Chains A and B, each alone.
Chain A
Amino acid sequence: MTQSIIKPTKKDHTIAKLAAIAIVLSVIEFFLPSPIPGIKPGIANIIILYTLVRFDFSTAAWVSLVRVFVSSIIVGSFLSPTFFLSLFGAIVSLVLLYAVQKLPKPYFSIVSLSLIASFGHIVGQFIIARLWIIPHDSIFNLLPLFLISALIFGLFSAFVCNILLKHKLKKHTF
């Protein structure tokens, strides 16, 4: 009982490190120009995927949510519509990831995880946007564009994450 109540565990350290990288990536992405407003590669997802494969679901969920909150505070969008879009996208994405990671490994690789995660982001953001920001069905006209970008960036994230995983597995860091 002499210990302080909050003692960072090893897991906390892992979360902190990975979340820090994810946050940096998010903030960089925030300042990069986007060809189409609202469409972003979501490179921070690479870290979430990495965490999920390398560690476990709960670590990945922590990293994802810490990333959403902290990066929005850094770029000054905390509690703004952008923040809620990003938060809800992350939540839906995590819920889908939780289900997908239970699929048999021999048939589903990181590619499926990545695609379904990016799909989740789109779905979550569209739900919030339809209910709150643009309460009209015309918003669904944007769906094809977002789905195509989700497919491309989902494949890309899986590609990068695959390289990272191989690399890190050799060096046994993290």
Chain B
Amino acid sequence: MKKILQYIKIIKLGDTFVIVTFMGLIFWSVSQSWNMPSGQYLKIENNQEDSKVFSLNQTVNKQVIGFLGSSEISIAEGKVRFVKSPCTKKYCIHHGWINKINQTIVCLPNQITISIVGDSESYDTVNY
């Protein structure tokens, strides 16, 4: 008991800071893993045609034609973002990456929506 008390005494201001940071990291990692699962598929909707679903399990850039012109989205192993857009404010690009189910980026000016969907929506039946 005495030794534990002695031990607590050696904890200094900087140590407290390290311990608090460590606990913060734990909380962050717990909240991250609770937010799982990440989605497996990307759904792209534009003003022209039916929505299309792509696998997120690839690294590729895709051109999507919208109202103003062609936007470019980048799929990178489980996440997706806008990289080019003909819109003026570029909110869609500043939004950055999305990877969790139901996360969505809407580019209103160019009328393109990209959203993450889970496995369940990827197909209705299997051909074998």
Contacts and interface: CB of A to CB of B under 8 A. Distances in A.
Q: In the complex they form, do A and B come into direct contact, defined as C-beta atoms under 8 angstroms apart?
A: yes
Interface of A: 103-104, 106-112, 115-116, 119, 137-138, 140-141, 143-144, 147-148, 150-151, 154-155, 158-159, 162-163
26 contacts: A104-B14, A107-B12, A107-B14, A108-B12, A108-B14, A108-B18, A109-B10, A112-B15, A112-B18, A115-B22, A119-B22, A119-B25, A137-B38, A140-B32, A143-B33, A144-B30, A147-B25, A148-B26, A151-B22, A151-B23, A151-B26, A154-B22, A159-B4, A162-B6, A162-B7, A163-B3
A55 B3 CA distance: 24
A107 B26 contact: no
Contact of A141 (B6, B7, B23, B33): B33
A108 B15 contact: yes
Interface of B: 3-4, 6-7, 10-15, 18-19, 22-23, 25-26, 29-30, 32-33, 36, 38, 78
Contacts of B18: 108, 111-112, 115-116
Nearest to B11: A111
B58 to A, nearest CB: 14
Given A141-B36, A158-B7, A159-B7, 16 more contacts: A107-B12, A107-B15, A108-B15, A109-B10, A109-B11, A111-B12, A111-B15, A111-B19, A112-B18, A116-B18, A140-B33, A143-B32, A147-B22, A147-B26, A148-B26, A162-B7
A16 B23 CA distance: 36
Main secondary structure of the interface of A (DSSP, over half): helix
A154 B10 CA distance: 15
A173 B94 CA distance: 61
A112 B22 CA distance: 10
Contact of B29 (A115, A137, A143): A143
Q: Which of A104, A107, A116, A163 has most B Cβ within 10 Å?
A: A107
B26 A103 contact: no
Contacts of B36: 138, 141
Contacts of A108: 12, 14-15, 18
Contacts of A106: 12
A30 B38 CA distance: 35
B25 A162 contact: no
Contacts of A143: 29, 32-33
Q: Which of A104, A137, A158, A163 has most B Cβ within 10 Å?
A: A137
